[in-house]
Chain A
Amino acid sequence: MENNKDLKEEQPILADLAKFPSENPNPVLRISKDKIIYINEAGQDLLNLQAKDALPEILFEEVNKALISKSVTTIEVELINKIILFDITPIKGEDYANIYGRDITESKKAEQKLIESEKLYKSLANELELIIDHLPGIVVYKDTENNLLRVNKFLADAHHLKKEEMEGVSSFDIYPRDQAQAYWDDDLEVVRSKQPKINIVEPWESDLGKKWLSTSKIPYIDENGEVKGIIALAFDITERMKFEEELKKSEKLIRESYQRAEIYKDLFAHDISNILQNIKSSNGLLAMWQKNPDDPQKLTEVIRIIDNQVFRGAKLITNIQKLSQINDETELISVDPFSKIDEAIKFINKSYSDKQIEIKIISQIKEAKIKANDLLLDIYENLMINSVKYNRNPTIEIQIKVSKFKEDNLNYLKFEFIDNGIGISDSMKEGIFNGTTKREDKSKGMGLGLILVRKIILSYKGKIWVENKIKDDYSQGTNFIILLLEVE
């Protein structure tokens, strides 16, 4: 009684459960090895089959396989506009199987799209890698711990490594410590600021040698706003740097040449004005004395002044001409320094025949040869002219001392031109040979003669400096010292 009651109560539940396959929106079938035992409505609609129909060809082979093997088999069947996945489940102890179908059209489409986009992504990634590898510069992706995660072929090749060999390696393992630290400091700045750092000019050492790079570092920030790494792009700017360096040097040379030309122009204009003033004043006096002759001695004195000024003007012109002729490639020959001294002394005595001049040569060396040329005479003449010009004594004394001198394993002849002139104060000594002594305030340096002397000596790879004749008293006279290379 109790059992009947239970059965009665459960019948609606069982009937409801029996609807389970029929209400399934997906195809559900029960099949024997050759025909359909049951097919729900969804299956009928989809497969256009009824119960007791023969097993369709598309399922036949798989169903039989499943029944024989007694294991679940899955088969994907493409129908018109739909793809259905059938799970063929043999029923244990029976010679039939249940088939559960499900429409996988959309997921298949999505899967297909995924495959296609993966393919596209791979293709793009390959293209990108190819491009990055063949960029004429470095591309690196680093983590925030200073490890290289990706490098391009350019960088790997520069270190004679494979890309993979560099990945995971710290900068400190590749570069000199100071340099790696500098790279790392920049990385940390980018990580901290979350801002790119553009065009950092930095050195780079690799198997390609020492180079200069222009590097830009960009933070790679994830969706949470956290910096996950740094992308660094660097291009070799060594040639550009060299070019810029050359350009700077050229600009410096041009600027110096211009400044030199200005100094020469200024000195020339000043000296010529003074020469003309001497001549004009002298001429005025002569014109006056012509009508009313005064003292014949004064007349002679003024004529000599004019004569000296003409000589001074001529020397000024030759000095300017020679200044423009000298360059670093001036050819040097073996020259007897003593015969040129004799020649210069003759010139000085002749040019200043009105003055009492005593010139003495003090030398233990009788014969020598130095690396020089015809301009050697201009050195001697200008130094002696200087001694005469800046001298108030009735007798102008010039001593020329010659001795041997060795410095930095080079053999020089040392020439000292010592005079009893007005001397050169310490403040003037510094710029005396380049005409720059207090040029900005127009305090007077020496004239073009000494500029020429210095330029000739430098073209001989020699040296020049000036000392006092008496150590702590410049007013007693000057000692111009020059070193000229001996011919070995």
Chain B
Amino acid sequence: MASIFLVEDEFSLVRLYELVLTTFGHKIIAVANNGEEAVQKYKKLLHKPDIIIMDHRMPIKNGIDATEEILEINRDAKIIFASADKEAREKAEMMGVLSFKTKPFSNEKLLRNIEKALKRTIYSSAT
């Protein structure tokens, strides 16, 4: 089970992620609707999430900028990008995000990526 921080400006998608992820036992510990809100909320979280699911195109601050700031706060933050903007992939990958999912993707793919991320977290904490 992973603790997840959802960063997505589409209310319907936030709700659908919630439904999918909670069904599979994951816990949504925070939601932000834009990059700025994501950075501010991340700073305040006492227990940092295992995974951040990050959209790119959002009001006020985009996902790439928010990711950069979050990684400055915590170099080990695990971020899965979920975006319709393919051109953001290269930048996101260079910054060291775990994976980049181009919308539309299936629930299964998202879940598999979370599993992979979790394994990596466990591995890195064991070593």
Contact = CB atoms under 8 A, between A and B. Distances in A.
Interface of A: 269-270, 273-274, 276-282, 284-285, 288, 294, 298, 301-302, 305, 308-309, 392, 422, 424-425, 427-428, 438, 441-444
Contacts of A276: 103-104
B12 A278 contact: yes
A305 B34 CA distance: 21
Contact of B103 (A274, A301, A422, A443): A274
A428 B104 CA distance: 27
B24 to A, nearest CB: 10
Given A277-B13, A285-B16, A442 B84 contact: no
Contact of A428 (B17, B60, B87, B106): B60
Interface string B97-117: 000001111111000000000
Contacts of B105: 277, 280
Contacts of B107: 280-281, 284-285, 288
Interface in B11-29: 11-13, 15-17, 19-20, 23
B12 A443 contact: no
B61 A443 contact: yes
B interface bracket (residues with beta carbon within 8 Å of A):
35 or more
B62 A281 contact: no
Nearest to A437: B59
Contact of B20 (A274, A281, A309, A425): A281
B15 A274 contact: no
B13 A274 contact: yes
A308 B16 CA distance: 13
Contacts of B61: 443
A270 B104 CA distance: 10
B48 interface: no
Contact of A425 (B9, B59, B108): B59
What DSSP secondary structure best describes chain A's contact surface?
A: helix
A278 B57 contact: no
Contacts of A422: 33
B85 A270 contact: yes
A285 B20 CA distance: 7
B64 A441 contact: yes
10 contacts: A274-B13, A277-B105, A278-B13, A280-B107, A305-B16, A441-B64, A442-B56, A442-B85, A443-B59, A443-B61
Contacts of B2: none
A308 B27 CA distance: 26
B65 interface: yes
Given A280-B106, A281-B13, A270 B84 contact: yes
B65 A285 contact: no
B88 interface: yes
Nearest to B11: A392
B71 interface: no
